[in-house]
């Protein structure tokens, strides 16, 4: 038994006062009488000079003391700590994503969620069991099903918050599999609700209890970062970034650009509420290095106030054009930046000294292993051929794909195209109703862009979008660009490094300066490193080779730190936030009722005795 107001026990000091009243003698009134014969019994008392008398047995005193004790006990509000009726299996999901680092809770949202989860562990009955899941970029089982509270506390206390986006769908699906067909089971999610994509959860019966953590949205975050050659000055690099304001007020900040550890430029930014403001820097790059941007504003979340990207100096791209004579395509390739173009009529053997090969209406005897732009030619190992389509209309194109940046297919007409079925390794970036027209993807580490139509049987080469597309294709197929894109990793996602030669060990240096040694399989062709929970610049050393890669958050949904009062689970509705489902079984009302009954009995007894 515990007490919500233990200070009420100070009222127990009134108990001696009640007893004192019964020890005091009554004050006598002097009266003249004719005889004291009938008053002999009380003469001794009237002659005594002491103010106190002997305490006699008195039921009124006992009743009054009992009533006072009950009143004090009720004011102290005693209760039995317990838990509302729940299931025998509890699945706890701790959100460990970047937004849980927000400081609107003391000391952070994650620590508040951890404390609430520990309270839930303390309320478990001996027969209850619990599973602990940690949800970040991936879901980690911190503790399998057990009733040992010490193991559960250790699992919750060992969890660490990350700089990664939230991926609650995986955690909820795992919890659903654990609670399926188990009567009374519950899933307790401790999160701020900053989790997109929950509409994928299509389980109407998921016993989800959502414990909301977080109080406000006060955050500025860097949500995009890219480095490109300056189109007006090839000797310069253009750094594109954008900063989002998720607070309800206008925010002012400064954004800094650094190259390695050198400060290059600082710009002021004024960002309207719930808006995004872009920023562009132009900088001279003397060598391969890392560009970093940082905002100086003080907000609730620090994980998205800085981002870094590896920038490699542009090198000439060696391109082999295999064609029967397409001058328009040849001119477009020469205009696509630093290109060293070689032209051939056929490919009789694999060309390994070229960065990419362009096949224009030519089927080679041996398919090149370099990255490939294949125009009106096909390899039957790529996809299933369905025939041909005459005058296919262009109905859709994915302008967000890097190949189609600033590219439009308005007023582009085609005479005919090959009809194929989209394979699993590629995505259709330009479509007609009957067949994809342009496919892009990666097959066995080879990037491929495939066009199903002959350029000379269309009017596209005479449109401004054609040389832009060729420039984009050269950039996307360039192995150096592929390498640069692989050096930027989202927090929580694995970093992959191809192994040119066998190695037995490697070493990773983390942003905080700590190091970790990795053991490698000598026969492995690729290194996969998954310890990217924190944003910053990492250094990977394999033998004498060192690779620098960057880990960033760059997630607008995670930087939007508004606590969500409801979780949208798609067509099965929403789940509203609730508080901890604990019950304090207070009994002060029953004690007060007993005290009132004693008071009424004491009143009846007094009047009965004096009647």
Predicted confidence at residue 315, as pLDDT, reads: 84
**Residue 30: inside a domain, yes or no?**
yes
Predicted confidence at residue 249, as pLDDT, reads: 93
Predicted confidence at residue 125, as pLDDT, reads: 82
Q: Is the same domain home to 351 and 456?
A: yes
Summarised one tens digit per residue, pLDDT across range 8-28 is 778 778 778 777 776 665 666
**Residue 592: inside a domain, yes or no?**
no
Higher pLDDT among residues 430 and 72, named by residue:
430
Q: Measure the CA–CA gap between 134 and 156, rounded to whole angstroms.
A: 9
Q: Is the pLDDT of residue 351 over 80?
A: no
What is the number of domains present in the chain?
5
Residue 302 belongs to domain spanning: 220-244+254-314
> Which CATH number does the domain housing residue 541 bear?
2.60.40.1930
Summarised one tens digit per residue, pLDDT across range 301-310 is 999 999 999 9
Q: How far is CA 316 from CA 332, 335, 479, 484, in A?
A: 16, 12, 11, 15
Region 37-47: mean pLDDT is 57
Confidence of residue 349 (pLDDT cuts 50, 70, 90): low
Summarised one tens digit per residue, pLDDT across range 494-548 is 999 888 788 889 999 999 999 999 999 988 888 999 999 999 999 999 988 899 9
Q: Is the same domain home to 110 and 148?
A: yes
Region 286-291: mean pLDDT is 92
The answer for residues whose C-beta is within 8 angstroms of residue 325's C-beta and 6 or more apart is none
Question: Burial level of 366, CB count in 10 A (0-12/13-18/19+)?
Answer: exposed
Predicted confidence at residue 583, as pLDDT, reads: 46
**Residue 302: inside a domain, yes or no?**
yes
Q: Is the pLDDT of residue 98 over 90?
A: yes
- Which of 428, 459, 483 delimits the end of a domain? 483
Q: Is the pLDDT of residue 235 over 90?
A: no
Q: Is the same domain home to 121 and 104?
A: yes
Return phi, psi of residue 147, to 5°: -110, 0
Give the count of beta carbons closer than 10 Å to the beta carbon of residue 603: 11
pTM above 0.75, yes or no: no
**Residue 378: inside a domain, yes or no?**
yes
CB 489 within 8 A of CB 550: yes
Question: Burial level of 600, CB count in 10 A (0-12/13-18/19+)?
Answer: exposed
Q: Is the same domain home to 128 and 27?
A: no
Q: Is the same domain home to 92 and 60?
A: no
Q: Is the same domain home to 209 and 239?
A: no
Which stretch of 251-255, 320-324, 345-349, 587-591 has the lowest confidence by average pLDDT?
Answer: 345-349
Q: If you average pLDDT over every residue of the chain, what do you get?
A: 86
Q: Measure the CA–CA gap between 108 and 348, rounded to whole angstroms.
A: 64
Q: Measure the CA–CA gap between 344 and 325, rounded to whole angstroms.
A: 9
Predicted confidence at residue 85, as pLDDT, reads: 47
Summarised one tens digit per residue, pLDDT across range 382-394 is 888 888 999 999 9
Which stretch of 79-83, 162-166, 365-369 has the lowest confidence by average pLDDT?
Answer: 79-83
Q: Measure the CA–CA gap between 44 and 497, rounded to whole angstroms.
A: 109
Q: Is the same domain home to 411 and 274?
A: no
Predicted confidence at residue 29, as pLDDT, reads: 67
Q: Is the same domain home to 8 and 147?
A: no
> Which CATH number does the domain housing residue 273 bear?
2.60.40
Summarised one tens digit per residue, pLDDT across range 105-159 is 989 999 999 999 999 998 888 888 999 999 988 899 999 999 999 999 999 999 9
Q: Is the same domain home to 361 and 433?
A: yes
> Which CATH number does the domain housing residue 373 bear?
3.40.50.880
> Which CATH number does the domain housing residue 208 bear?
3.40.50.410
**Residue 587: inside a domain, yes or no?**
no
Q: Measure the CA–CA gap between 354 and 341, rounded to whole angstroms.
A: 10
Q: Is the same domain home to 479 and 513?
A: no
Q: Measure the CA–CA gap between 190 and 95, rounded to whole angstroms.
A: 6
């Amino acid at each position: 038994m515990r007490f919500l107001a233990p200070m009420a026990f100070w009222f127990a000091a009134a108990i001696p006062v009640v007893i004192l009243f019964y020890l005091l003698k009554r004050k006598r009134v002097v009266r003249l009488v004719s005889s004291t014969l009938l008053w002999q019994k009380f003469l001794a008392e009237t002659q005594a000079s002491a103010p106190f008398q002997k305490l006699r047995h008195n039921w009124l005193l006992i009743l009054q003391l009992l009533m006072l004790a009950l009143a004090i006990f009720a004011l102290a509000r005693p209760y039995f700590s317990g838990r509302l009726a729940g299931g025998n299996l509890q699945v706890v999901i701790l959100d460990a994503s970047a937004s849980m680092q927000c400081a609107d809770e003391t000391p952070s949202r994650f620590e508040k969620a951890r404390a609430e989860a520990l309270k839930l562990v303390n309320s478990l009955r001996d027969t209850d069991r619990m599973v602990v899941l940690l949800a970040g970029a991936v879901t980690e089982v911190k503790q399998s099903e057990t009733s040992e509270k010490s193991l559960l506390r250790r699992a919750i206390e060992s969890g660490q918050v990350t700089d990664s986006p939230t991926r609650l769908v995986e955690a909820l699906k795992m919890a659903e599999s654990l609670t399926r067909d188990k009567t009374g089971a519950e899933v307790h999610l401790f999160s701020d609700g900053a989790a997109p994509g929950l509409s994928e959860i299509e389980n109407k019966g998921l016993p989800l209890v959502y414990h909301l953590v977080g109080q406000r949205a006060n955050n500025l975050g860097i949500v995009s970062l890219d480095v490109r050659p300056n189109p007006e000055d090839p000797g310069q690099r253009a750094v594109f970034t954008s900063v989002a304001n998720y607070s309800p007020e206008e925010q002012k900040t400064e954004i800094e650009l650094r190259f390695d550890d050198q400060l290059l430029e600082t710009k002021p930014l004024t960002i309207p509420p719930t808006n995004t403001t872009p920023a562009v820097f132009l900088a001279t790059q003397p060598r391969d290095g890392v560009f970093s941007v940082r905002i100086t504003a003080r907000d609730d979340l620090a994980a998205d106030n800085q981002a870094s990207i590896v920038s490699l100096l542009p090198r000439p791209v060696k391109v082999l054009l295999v064609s029967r004579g397409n001058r328009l395509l040849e001119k477009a390739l020469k205009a696509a930046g630093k290109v060293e173009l070689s032209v051939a009529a056929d490919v009789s053997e694999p060309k390994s000294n070229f960065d990419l090969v362009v096949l224009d209406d030519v089927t080679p005897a041996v398919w090149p292993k370099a990255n490939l732009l294949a125009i009106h030619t096909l390899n039957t190992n790529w996809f299933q051929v369905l025939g041909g389509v005459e005058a296919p209309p262009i109905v859709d194109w994915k302008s967000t794909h890097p190949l189609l940046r600033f590219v439009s297919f308005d007023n582009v007409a085609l005479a005919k195209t090959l009809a194929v079925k989209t394979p699993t390794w590629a995505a259709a970036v330009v479509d007609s109703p009957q067949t994809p027209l342009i496919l892009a993807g990666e097959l066995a580490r080879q990037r491929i862009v495939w066009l199903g139509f002959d350029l000379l049987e269309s009017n596209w080469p005479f449109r401004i979008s054609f040389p832009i597309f060729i420039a984009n294709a050269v950039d996307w197929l360039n192995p150096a660009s592929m390498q640069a894109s692989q050096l930027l990793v989202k927090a929580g996602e694995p970093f992959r490094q191809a192994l040119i030669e066998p190695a037995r060990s490697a070493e990773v240096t983390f942003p905080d300066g700590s190091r970790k040694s990795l053991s490698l399989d000598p026969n492995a062709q690729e290194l996969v490193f998954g310890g990217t929970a924190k944003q910053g610049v990492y250094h990977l050393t394999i033998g004498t080779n060192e690779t620098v890669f960057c880990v960033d958050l760059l997630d607008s949904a995670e930087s939007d730190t508004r606590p969500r009062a409801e979780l949208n689970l798609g067509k099965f509705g929403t789940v509203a936030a609730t508080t901890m489902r604990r019950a304090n079984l207070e009994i002060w009302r029953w004690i007060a009722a007993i005290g009132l009954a004693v008071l009424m009995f004491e009143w009846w007894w007094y009047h009965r005795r004096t009647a």
